[in-house]
Chains A and B, each alone.
Chain A
Amino acid sequence: GQQLNQSPQSMFIQEGEDVSMNCTSSSIFNTWLWYKQDPGEGPVLLIALYKAGELTSNGRLTAQFGITRKDSFLNISASIPSDVGIYFCAGRGEYGNKLVFGAGTILRVKS
């Protein structure tokens, strides 16, 4: 089946630094979604991407849908302590409604 490779697995950064994480796949996706999950909560949608090459921002967050439709990245600029959490990428393939999730990136921020 379709799989997403998300990296890095975890990051421990200084407050104020920029963060970058990405997801890649051998399969083509029609939709890329990026989520943040806080402890004890469900994932919250951050950014949705629908077209190859699309670059979308949401405050300090920027995500891009790769040209090949097989990858996506998420950048967080000027990180703050409340950015701490687990970030997941998710992709929806060419057929069907199922979402496939990456393994997640654990972000920790030193203040």
Chain B
Amino acid sequence: SAVISQKPSRDICQRGTSLTIQCQVDSQVTMMFWYRQQPGQSLTLIATANQGSEATYESGFVIDKFPISRPNLTFSTLTVSNMSPEDSSIYLCSVDLRVAEAFFGQGTRLTVV
């Protein structure tokens, strides 16, 4: 498995502000994935981040709201922009290792007030 570190682990933010979440992996990976887990719900893929190209967003998620950076093969950031209380969720980054096994960071618990 990989060591996947996310920062911050939790935050409470004011509506209208933005938060950038960092994800660091201890090995080089081609793709990194960002998920959202709303309270009491399952995981929903936000976007796939490839190094050197723009992220690919899933239906219902747009770059203006969730800009992603992928400056190298071990690091990515997800920004939640212009936050509202509906953005209160756990945000998780993930990488694929060993053929098709997905591993997750510990998550960032975001509360928007």
B-side contacts of A104, CB under 8 Å: 42
Whether B103 lies near A45 (C-beta < 8 A) is yes
For the complex, count residues of A whose C-beta is within 8 A of B.
22
B-side contacts of A102, CB under 8 Å: 42
Interface residues of B, dominant DSSP? strand
Q: What is the number of contacts between chain A and chain B, taking CB atoms within 8 Å?
A: 53
Whether A45 lies near B102 (C-beta < 8 A) is yes
Interface residues of A, dominant DSSP? strand
Binding site for A on B (CB under 8 A): 1, 4, 6, 31, 33, 41-45, 48, 58, 92, 96, 98-107, 109
Binding site for B on A (CB under 8 A): 30-31, 33, 35, 40-45, 48, 50, 88, 90, 92, 97-99, 101-104
| Given A97-B31, A101-B42, A101-B43: A90 touches B102 (CB 8 Å cut-off) | yes
Whether A40 lies near B109 (C-beta < 8 A) is yes
| Given A42-B92, A88-B43, A104-B42: A99 touches B102 (CB 8 Å cut-off) | yes
